[in-house]
Structure 1
Amino acid sequence: MTGTAGIADTVDVVVVGGGAMGSAAAWRLARRGVDVVLLEQFAAGHTNGASHGASRIFRLSYPDPVYIGLAQEAQRLWRDLEDDTGTRLLTITGGVDHGDHPYLHELADGLAAAGVPHQWLAPQEAAERWPGLRFTTPALFYPDSGRLHADRSVAALQAAAEASGATVRHSTPVTAIEVLGDDAVLVHTDSGSYRARRVVAAVNAWASKLLGGLAPLPPLRVTQEQPAHFAAREAEEGWPSFGHRFADGSADARTFFGGIYGLATPGEGIKVGFHGVGPEVDPDHRDFTPEPTQLAALREYTRRWLPGVDPDDFTPISCTYTTTPDENFVLDRHGPVVVATGFSGHGFKFVPAIGRVLADLALDGAHPDRRFAFAR
């Protein structure tokens, strides 16, 4: 690349952001024969964003048919990616939600309407099936849920993209995006520039910093989320993915920030965390240190509700959430700039399907559901 002389390399599409979403977009674009380069500001395998680690929940359990359909598409594409790369990424463990929040009944109604397998279990039946969890209310079980290996998924997406002709560059921060017209954009880095018809900016927590003025972003709240791995007393392979929701205004909802999620991370224990309640941060200036009040509440939750873990044997972990006011994603295009952000802590399961959506937006402008637009 010869940007130091003011001459830019020319490609069809530049994807900015080599996390899961950007890597998926590069894969789907390259599979369509597009000349694409993927630029990631950090080294491969970094832990600065939202795509690292060994475990993410996969589930079809949404009350919304649009999200259910997107998850079903993603499930098929995860298997395609496994076949393409010879990598195991998606492990089906089953999943269970419980608690006294009416949202569980909304989930059941949505799954029934979509024909997704699920069933209600009595508390005693659920406890016998999963002795590591305590149940006091009926539990909603989803046999098709499971976990994804995040680090392997990102590596597989990038390997598949490269195998289809994409160029992947790590440690290449983008310093600016310059819009030249409806079909022309310059993407500047420290080492030079790229000229392209489109740029796909999948930078999540960095969206406001990089795209301010280039696209009409909704308000984005970036938080440092602080789950932990707890040592398992019950064998890790027997655990489902799980969620526990407390009724609004209840004492448990106040104590445990509304509810928790969890799943096994083989070799590391049982991952348990709160959803989207961490302290707001600048993604470039994080300390990765657990907030003491929330960590204490997480440990107290495990004492009360997870007999299958040791609440005194744990390892804190850290990632970012980038959350929109309605927790719907941002998947839209403004001129030649395609934007992917605001995944609000529940986006990873959809990664390969979102890659397809971003490829559509870049190539023919086809928009997904309106809930993902800049203006909702």
Structure 2
Amino acid sequence: MARHEVDVVVVGGGGMGSAAAWRLAGGGAEVVLLERFEEGHVRGASHGASRIFRVSYTEPVYIGLAQEAERSWRELEDASGVSLLTVTGGVDHGRTADLGLLAEAVEAAGAPGEWLAPEEAAERWPGLRYDGRVLFHPAGGRLHADDAVSALQAQAARLGAVVRHRTPVTAIVVRGDDAVEVRAGEDVYHAKRVVVAAGAWAGKLLGGLVPLPPLRVTQEQPAYFAPLGEAAWPSFVHHLDDASLAAAGYPSGVYGLGTPGEGVKAGFHGTGPVVDPDERDFLPEPAQGRALREYARAWLPGVDADAFTPISCTYTTTPTSDFVLDRVGPVVVAAGFSGHGFKFVPAVGRILAGLALTGERPDARFALDRPPVVA
């Protein structure tokens, strides 16, 4: 059995864990990053060619994190020489009160959007059909997830971190407030801190160690649709109220974005079947696939609704859809990113490094002991 002494072990080499390793190594910590699967694997939530970047949230804390993340993505691009964030503009449309709340929140945060008539939006982006009011955000865009994870790990390694793939962690044992043991096969790592950013495996690794909220792991199934032309695509979110959802038979609102080389990505949000991450079949659920194609026929005139490639990914969702970013003793927790976390990756990395190195805590809404939301 090999024994290793380090300052911090990061468990999980997706976006969040890789960003934590980058920031920890940049802060002078001796870091090892342990990822259970091979480089570039598709079993988690940080793979693929596209994720939406947007600042359009109603909660100021998320707007602020997105603004920080935008600056940090550019910092990572400068350091790595890799283009990661492409600005395309983003639109929110629909007939719900959410749009007015979005507009008020981003304006208050100094990132105002622009109201467009549906006809004006259709002239700019004819691939979309618009439902009611359209709120345009010029800062919206697209992140390349695979390239981002690779860049984060490369920069972490450049700063001294050790990155190990195909290294599943089998146990985490707390030995004291500043001592934790992480076991991975024949290797045992002794550290002052462990950062657990294990995605769908968070519950399996952290159960009994920290008071996690219920984490719902689902297998989501967006799809790439073949575009019918060369028109530009913004990132988009279609907000649908309960009556509209019931009338159309859709399980949720829809998000999407153009993805060069793949097509136009579109998907429902957080509506897939509950799965065990170790027992996934990666197979599309037929009813949701049909509903998504029907949506494309009705609302995406710029794609061929019958020419599509299903995608399989996981969501790990908390009851409030807020993240868990907290620390108990030597254990730092990053969990429950609820299908909307990737845009925040470098900002979350900074938070996790702060929790590990100085104990600095983020907004209370990310705490493990946040009071439950009463409906």
TM bucket normalised to smaller: over 0.9
Amino acid in structure 2 at the alignment position of 1:371 = R
Find out whether 1:182 has 2:177 as its counterpart: yes
Counterpart in 2 of 1:322? 316
Identical residues among aligned pairs (%)? 67
Counterpart in 2 of 1:170? 165
Task: Report how far residue 136 of structure 1 moved.
Answer: 3.5
Find out whether 1:199 has 2:194 as its counterpart: yes
Alignment check: 8 A CA contact 1:94 1:146 kept: yes
Match of 2:155 among 129, 151, 160: 160
Find out whether 1:258 has 2:252 as its counterpart: yes
- Relative to structure 1, the CA distance from residue 323 to residue 198 in structure 2 (aligned partners, 3 Å threshold; closer, same or farther) is same
Counterpart in 2 of 1:18? 13
**Secondary structure at the counterpart of residue 284 of structure 1:** coil
Task: Report how far residue 234 of structure 1 moved.
Answer: 3.0
Amino acid in structure 1 at the alignment position of 2:219 = Q
Query: How well do the aligned residues superpose, as a CA RMSD in angstroms?
Result: 1.0
- Relative to structure 1, the CA distance from residue 251 to residue 36 in structure 2 (aligned partners, 3 Å threshold; closer, same or farther) is closer
Residues 99-140 of structure 1: CA deviation (Å, up to 9, x unaligned)? 112111110110111110311101111111110001141200
Q: Distance in 2 between matches of 1:105 and 1:31?
A: 40
Moved more, 247-256 or 20-29: 247-256
Match of 2:368 among 354, 368, 374: 374
The correspondence of residues 62-101 of structure 1 with structure 2, limited to 5 A, is: 62-101=57-96
Q: Distance in 2 between matches of 1:279 and 1:211?
A: 23
Alignment check: 8 A CA contact 2:245 2:251 kept: no
Structure 2: 5+ residue stretches without partners: 371-375
Amino acid in structure 1 at the alignment position of 2:362 = P
Residues 309-336 of structure 1: CA deviation (Å, up to 9, x unaligned)? 0001000001000000000000000110
Amino acid in structure 1 at the alignment position of 2:290 = A
Task: Report how far residue 191 of structure 1 moved.
Answer: 2.5
Amino acid in structure 2 at the alignment position of 1:318 = S
Structure 1: 5+ residue stretches without partners: none
Counterpart in 2 of 1:243? 237
Amino acid in structure 2 at the alignment position of 1:339 = V
Residues 120-164 of structure 1: CA deviation (Å, up to 9, x unaligned)? 101111111110001141200000000000000000000000000
Residues 48-85 of structure 1: CA deviation (Å, up to 9, x unaligned)? 00000000000111111111111111001100100111
Task: Report how far residue 235 of structure 1 moved.
Answer: 1.6
Task: Report how far residue 253 of structure 1 moved.
Answer: 6.4
The correspondence of residues 124-143 of structure 1 with structure 2, limited to 5 A, is: 124-143=119-138
Find out whether 1:356 has 2:350 as its counterpart: yes
The correspondence of residues 269-288 of structure 1 with structure 2, limited to 5 A, is: 269-288=263-282
Alignment check: 8 A CA contact 1:42 1:172 kept: yes
Residues 231-273 of structure 1: CA deviation (Å, up to 9, x unaligned)? 001326x100001011123355661222100001101100000
Amino acid in structure 1 at the alignment position of 2:335 = T
Alignment check: 8 A CA contact 1:57 1:145 kept: yes
- Relative to structure 1, the CA distance from residue 13 to residue 144 in structure 2 (aligned partners, 3 Å threshold; closer, same or farther) is same
Match of 2:287 among 278, 284, 293: 293
Q: Distance in 1 between matches of 2:202 and 2:136?
A: 36
Counterpart in 2 of 1:306? 300
Counterpart in 1 of 2:50? 55
Counterpart in 2 of 1:339? 333
Following TM superposition, the consecutive aligned residue runs of length 4 or more in structure 1 with deviations greater than 6 angstroms are none
**Secondary structure at the counterpart of residue 222 of structure 1:** strand
Find out whether 1:38 has 2:25 as its counterpart: no
Give the paired residue count.
Answer: 370
Q: Distance in 1 between matches of 2:315 and 2:197?
A: 14
Amino acid in structure 2 at the alignment position of 1:259 = G
Residues 9-64 of structure 1: CA deviation (Å, up to 9, x unaligned)? 10000000000000000000000110000000000000000000000000111111
